[in-house]
A and B are shown apart, each in its own frame.
Chain A
Amino acid sequence: MTFGRFFITIISGAVMALGIITGCNRQKRDNNLPLISQFVVDSVYMPIALSDHFKLRVKEVQSRSATDEIVFFVKNNNYSAYFYNMSNSRRVGDTFSLVKYANEYKDSYPLGIDSFMVELEKQLLVISKNRIKKWDVSPITRQISPFAFVGYLSMESMHVFGDTVACITSTEETQEKIGPNAPFLKANYDILIKLLPDTAILLAKHSPNPPYFYKQDYNCNPERVYMNSRQIVYCYSYSDTLVMVNPFNQTEKRVRLRTSYFSPNVPFDYSRESDFKYIDSFYLEQSMMTHLFYDKARHRIYVFLKHKGKHIEESGKKNEMEDLPHSLFVLDEQLHQLKEIYIPPGRFGPVYRAFVTHKGLYLPAARPQQKNYDKTLFYRIVIP
């Protein structure tokens, strides 16, 4: 009897301890990882209000001078395109208004310090001081796939390599239903378009959505970087595997990240897709690959992983993505993992505002450090 009592007490203690451990959502920090603060070398202000957004990414203009650091961005609030020299904190050239394209605007890419390409739903434009040249790409997007009922270009980051444009197609959903819409997903392609003087032709296409998306992970996003016109690297929200694809011959290289902070996701419950608390918790309480950047100057790829954490703390504090710790993975161009760097919670602002130039990776400072209404503080990070 005494042994039985002792045994049950031990078992019950173990059950309760297990409950407490599994109930604790936050992972402990791996002290072997270097801290991001070791790699911060500088800070700069960008002339954009904290309450505004850049449309998608800030992109560096390829400059002839190594000291110049000219970036190009479009402001969310007024659809104005700016060239800005970060070396001397001055605007370069004219500001271009894209307001008249607001309804069909997708993305832009700088071609020099006075011209840029604009991606609209069905057109590509090259805009320079006195001239606008147009290419109609709807013949390509309409026929990209039998699943694309109304194909158009998608609001994802585009890239231009000489006369070749890398961008993404999307399509209208064609049916009302709850859950993953396989035709919708199957119609999303990364495409490479060659611009000829009067027409645009399709060079290659690749559908980035893996089969498991069709069943459960409609809410996942593939992030991608175009390393050149033949290599695209993808990361997926709930996968620790990066994929490098050549869209011309569909060859793939898959590399799994080494980390203790990634854990497989729980599939999205589509019966609760109107429940905002559930949706926020879904994104915040699981580990999630968030953003991918390519540092062409250093031949590096940067991948951000948000660690799992709590959406709402016991105190009632509502966490956002930047309130949770992240990992920054540094990989070479063959996807060899070189480093995992720990980013403590609340150290930086939202990663979607980050950008890369030949001088480093820029991450916005956390909101409490942003003291100016009309400009945003960024930290420059250089990882050797």
Chain B
Amino acid sequence: MIKHFFTALLFPSIILIACSCKDKAAVDVNATRFEQLTHNAHLEAKNVRYLIWNSSSCGGCRSISVNLMRSNKTLGNTILIVPLVYANQAFGIKKDRLFVDSSGIFDKLYFGIDNIGIANVEDGKVINIRNYNPDAMDSLKVDIGR
């Protein structure tokens, strides 16, 4: 009886749980999706950092991050991706450091950014993608200065 309990109920349950533990896989999926989106948007720089807003990014977070870009001259390899609806808030950013997502390309697929985020690309490969919610703006300031 106990043996059948294990074979029929417990083992499938463990397999199901194991399948749902997919943090590592999720990171890869997000990176693949982001690479696909940058390709669709013809953003194909090999070594670059993207600072990404979406259409529901919080106002204060947008303000903090764009001010960081304006004030920090060392962020030369950072490109700010903004949805069309917030394009006018990115004034003062040089054209070669700004991508206005007028077609909403980066709003169509989920790639791990909920509020605003950073994606680091090296040799054309996404190394990491990090999301920053409104309570993580201090971390953003630290990370973006690196």
Contacts and interface: CB of A to CB of B under 8 A. Distances in A.
A binds B: yes
B107 interface: yes
Contact of A275 (B5, B104, B109, B114): B114
18 contacts: A1-B1, A4-B1, A4-B4, A5-B1, A8-B1, A8-B4, A9-B8, A12-B8, A16-B16, A274-B134, A276-B58, A316-B33, A316-B109, A316-B110, A316-B111, A317-B110, A318-B107, A318-B109
Interface of B: 1, 4-5, 8-9, 12, 16, 29, 33, 56, 58, 84-85, 104, 107-111, 114-115, 131, 133-136
A274 B114 CA distance: 11
B108 to A, nearest CB: 7
A15 B104 CA distance: 41
Contacts of A201: none
A32 interface: no
Contact of B110 (A1, A15, A312): A312
A272 to B, nearest CB: 9
Contact of A51 (B85, B115, B136): B85
Contacts of A276: 56, 58, 114-115, 131, 133-134
A11 interface: yes
A5 B7 CA distance: 10
Question: What band does the interface of chain A fall in when counting residues whose beta carbon is under 8 Å from B?
Answer: 20 to 34
A376 B8 CA distance: 57
A28 B139 CA distance: 43
A350 B58 CA distance: 20
Nearest to A312: B110
Given A274-B135, A275-B133, A316-B111, A16 B29 contact: no
Nearest to A13: B8
B77 to A, nearest CB: 26
A19 B16 CA distance: 10
Contacts of B115: 276
A5 B135 CA distance: 53
Contact of A317 (B1, B5, B58, B109): B109
A51 B84 contact: yes
Given A51-B84, A276-B58, 9 more contacts: A8-B1, A8-B8, A8-B9, A12-B12, A51-B85, A274-B136, A280-B56, A316-B111, A318-B109
